[in-house]
Chain A
Amino acid sequence: MANKLNVNPNRMMLNVIKKRLVTAKRGHKLLKDKQDALIKEFLQKAREVMKLREKVEPALTTCYRSFLMARAQMVPAILEQSLLMASGGEAMVDVKKRNLMSVVVPEFAVEETGGQVIGYGFAMTSGSLDLALEQFAALLPDLVRLASEEKALRLMACEIERTRRRVNALEYVLIPAFEETIRDITMKLDEMERSNLSRLMRIKEIVRSH
């Protein structure tokens, strides 16, 4: 049994609580709809992210493997120097925010830097390093997409949990408490009505007998 609210049992309070009950029921319905839509969207996204991750992880392992091969063929100091000079500049992403069922999720897009030019000399480096770095560069857009999708998934998971708590609080605590209070106030008002009526009848009887 839900805990009834601690309010004065009068008509004004009854009206106020009835209005609050209507609002709570409407809020509950809206939140429930939001939760259902979020879950639908979430599951779809989760499947996509899983597929993307299953694609990216083996590709990254392959990249690592070819990088290890290149590394084994080169002197460590020269390799580090080459890697420092390798990139044409810093990789940048554009961030766009998208509202997905009131969850603001980021969308990342790799900025075009105008062609990746290998910036190190070819005399001291091995050809396998070029290949390995090319593989890494080709994987970057997928990694960035994975980052944006995973962040969205994580934010949506948090939002679903929060919405579920709200729905449950309304459904199992607030709405039953309002209903219980309304019942209680109605009973008290009815009781007052009955006692008033019997008092009036009694007074009328006394008056008539005199």
Chain B
Amino acid sequence: MQRVALVGAGGMGATHAASYGKIQNAKLVAVMDIRPDAAADLAAHYNAKSFSDAQKMFDEVEFDIIDICTPTPWHIDYVKIGAAAGKHVCCEKPFGRTLEQCREAIEACEKAGVTLFIAHVLRWFPEFKKAKELIDFGAIGSPAVVRTTRGGGFPHGWNNWFANFEWSGGAVLDLVIHDFDWLLWTFGPAERVFAKGLYNSGIPEKDYALITIRFRSGVIAHVEATFATPGGFKVSLEVAGDKGVINFDNTDAAPLVIGKWQTESSGPGVPVPSSPMSVSPYYLELQHFVDCIEEGRKPAVTPQEAMDAVALALAAIESIKTGAPVRL
């Protein structure tokens, strides 16, 4: 049984907590957030203790895993504190705000002999798993051009931290890091990146970027990152190879639509499409991590891979700033 202490009781913290609630060999024992109410609310759901001070949590609670769901710039602090205390570490993506932070985190965990797992959950999303399986199987032959889309409106979090590009890295680092990891996992190392975007443009609550990646294999990928478009969260993937093409669009793949007549209390009667699964990708991801800890295995996402995804995102941001392609 792995005892988990969660840091950060925001949206992703709640998602992780819900997954631990379903994992047989794990138990959420503590929730820490600098906002005492947020920590207490989430902890109460799972019979866990709540804290607003990390040191107090380490002093008062025995646990095996620290799960970090804070805003990006604070990942590194909690990785270090956790590793120093001999805890295994699960850290939300993106791994770090800088490569230096990623390196420090890897070193701290290696030195402490603890497992470090970066939660690149896309690898457990069934559509992205299926796409990689089909590609690896040779269903579309040798891949040539890849197009991905991800995003919707501007996210809102603690202190509007997503709008602080020095903290969040905008849509390029925070959002399409998912696609970067999947692309690197599927198509191998990247050679160079060229990107255009609104990064820190000063347009309030808008970020949008179009990123072109050339892989060493010759594959060309085009990534759309949007915190600027209405109409709900959209995800699409298309891979064209020399023997075929696969494409997927979440707006088409909704087996369930719930539509209600508008009433005064319900607000506008917009039908809401959804794609329910018997198990959530977050559950599968965290179950994998917990099993790896229990069985002494290495998790499927290595810290180096997570750092490579950050490197690609930071290179894209550099390209947006300089107007030139950036070699990796």
Binding partners A and B:
no
